[in-house]
Amino acid sequence: AKTGRNMSEKGTSFVNASETGEIPSFNGNETAKATDFANYFCSYAQLYHQKQMLADHNRMAAYHAAIMGNSSVFKDKVVMDVGTGSGILAVWAAQAGARRVYAIEYTDMAKHARSVMQANGVADIVTVIQGAVEDIVLPAEDDFEAEEDDMTDGSAKGTRVVDIMISEWMGYFLLRESMLDSIIRARDKFLKRRTGLMMPSHTTMYFAPVQDEEERKHSSNDYNASMSDWSEFADTTKTVYGVDMSVLERSSDHRL
C-alpha cells in the first residue's frame, strides 16, 4: 500500500511520498511516482490479481445490483470509473444506459480494459484513459456541459462534467489500498458539485475488542520454547563468532 514513507536520505533512492507528504501520484517527482508504481500499482497490472477480485462474488454482486438495478439513474449520464482495472464496472455503467463512461486506469491493465470494451460492444461509450486520476485530462472532443459554478470565467471550460463516479477503492480494513485520497481529489475535480453521485458514497467501520486465550497461550508457549535455550545460544555465539551476547539474557526473561 501507499504508506507515504520518504527514505530519500543520501545514498537511498526510495521515495514513496511527495515533498509535502502527499501521495506520489498527486504531486510527487518522477522518482516518487516510480517507487509508488513499483510498490503498489504494478501488481494491479497482472491478470491473476484482477481475476482474484473478479472472483469475489459478494463484491461483484453488490456492484452489479447497484449499477444494473439503477439503470434509470445511469441513463444518459456521464460516468467516471476510477481505477477501472479490467473494466467491468465501466461495462456495466454503459449497459445501464450511460451516454459516456470514462474508465481511468493507471497501470497497463488499461490495454486489457480497452479489449474488454471492444469485446462487449461498448467501446463507443467507454473511453479508457491510462494515467493517474490526479493528472488526466478528459478528451476535448467530449464537450459536456459543466455546472455553472464550475466556470472560472466567461470563457473557461469547467471540468465538473461527471454525473456519477463509481469506484471499487476499498481494501482490507477498508483503507488498506490507500485509494481514498485519489477518489476525493477526483470527486473535487470532476464530479458535479450539486447533482453528482458517488457509488459508493458512504462506508462504516466497526471495531470490537477481541480476546483469544488459546492464541495467547500458543504464542506464549512458542516464545518461551524459542528463548529457553538462551544460555546455549550465547555460548555458541561467543565460541563461533567471538561476540558475547549473554548480557541480553535478562531481556529474554520478558514473557508474553
Which residues are known to be catalytic?
168, 177
* 139 prior amide bond cis, ω within 30: no
Rounded distance between C-alpha atoms, residue 252 and residue 48, angstroms: 44
DSSP reduced 3-state for 15: strand
Residue with cell 528463548: 227
Rounded distance between C-alpha atoms, residue 93 and residue 70, angstroms: 10
Rounded distance between C-alpha atoms, residue 26 and residue 136, angstroms: 11
Alpha helices in 69-143 (DSSP H): 71-74, 88-95, 109-119
| 195, 228 Cβ separation under 8 angstroms | no
